[in-house]
């Protein structure tokens, strides 16, 4: 068993190795990547558009948590697809790989943002949602981990990746990334109190 300090050092190391790439796979670096993400977020807010947040399991909980925090703290409209009736209806009648893409095709508009969170970067329903909204001119931000060549890492306008080996590492780091993003929205003067 490793100690607490070792675990924290591992998370620190992962966050220091953060990769942020644009839609063409060009490395932006964390500061430039976050700056671009904040600029896109400001455009979403200025146009009264919506940030959709999706994930599975713990990433779904993270999406729901951040959706609540973002709307409360920044005044930006957010939406998650966590209604059990909707999830089970789509999963049963169409297929779980469409659980996010179907409601997005009915709700998302050009200028909206999709925040796609997947620890593995290979969840079929997350990948399908990213493909669907790409055709709708929706901004896509991806957060992934595990393998460097995961499929989600090429789907976004901004792709945030860290080489986490476990779900716990990926989820802990993704939470830190998302809170940093939201705090930067507020610090940039584009929060709810603007």
Tell me the average pLDDT across 48-52. 98
Domain assignment present for 116: yes
Domain assignment present for 133: yes
Domain assignment present for 55: yes
Domain assignment present for 87: yes
Tokens representing residue 194 in the block: 């603007």
Question: Do the beta carbons of residue 101 and residue 129 sit within 8 Å?
Answer: yes
Domain assignment present for 13: no
Domain total for the chain? 1
Q: Where are the beta strands (DSSP E) in 49-92?
A: 50-54, 77-80
Domain assignment present for 117: yes
* CATH classification at residue 151: 3.40.50.10490
Using the predicted structure, report yes or no on whether residue 193 has a pLDDT greater than 80: no
**3-state secondary structure (DSSP) of residue 190:** coil
**3-state secondary structure (DSSP) of residue 165:** coil
Tell me the average pLDDT across 39-49. 96
Task: Write out the residue range of the structural domain in which residue 112 sits.
Answer: 26-187
Model pLDDT for residues 128-151, shown as the tens digit of each residue: 999 999 999 999 999 999 999 999
Using the predicted structure, report yes or no on whether residue 2 has a pLDDT greater than 90: no
Residue carrying structure tokens 């430039």: 32
Domain assignment present for 64: yes
Question: What is the H or E stretch that residue 187 is in?
Answer: helix 167-187
Domain assignment present for 121: yes
Tell me the average pLDDT across 106-116. 98
């Amino acid at each position: 068993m490793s100690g607490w300090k070792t675990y924290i050092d591992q998370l620190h190391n992962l966050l220091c190795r953060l990769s942020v790439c644009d839609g063409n796979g060009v490395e932006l670096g964390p500061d430039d990547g976050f700056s671009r993400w904040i600029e896109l977020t400001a455009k979403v807010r200025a146009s009264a558009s919506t940030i959709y947040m999706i994930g599975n399991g713990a990433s779904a909980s993270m999406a729901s948590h951040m959706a609540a925090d973002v709307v409360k703290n920044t005044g930006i409209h957010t939406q998650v697809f966590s209604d059990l009736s909707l999830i089970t209806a789509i999963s049963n009648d169409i297929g779980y790989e469409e659980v996010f893409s179907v409601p997005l095709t009915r709700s998302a508009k050009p200028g909206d943002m999709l925040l796609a969170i997947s620890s593995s970067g290979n969840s079929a329903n997350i990948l399908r949602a990213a493909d669907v909204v790409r055709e709708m001119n929706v901004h896509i931000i991806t957060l992934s981990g595990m393998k460097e060549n995961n499929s989600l890492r090429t789907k976004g306008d901004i792709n945030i990746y860290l080489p986490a080996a476990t779900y716990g590492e990926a989820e802990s780091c993704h939470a830190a990334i998302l809170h940093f993003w939201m705090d930067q929205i507020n610090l940039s003067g584009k929060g709810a109190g603007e």
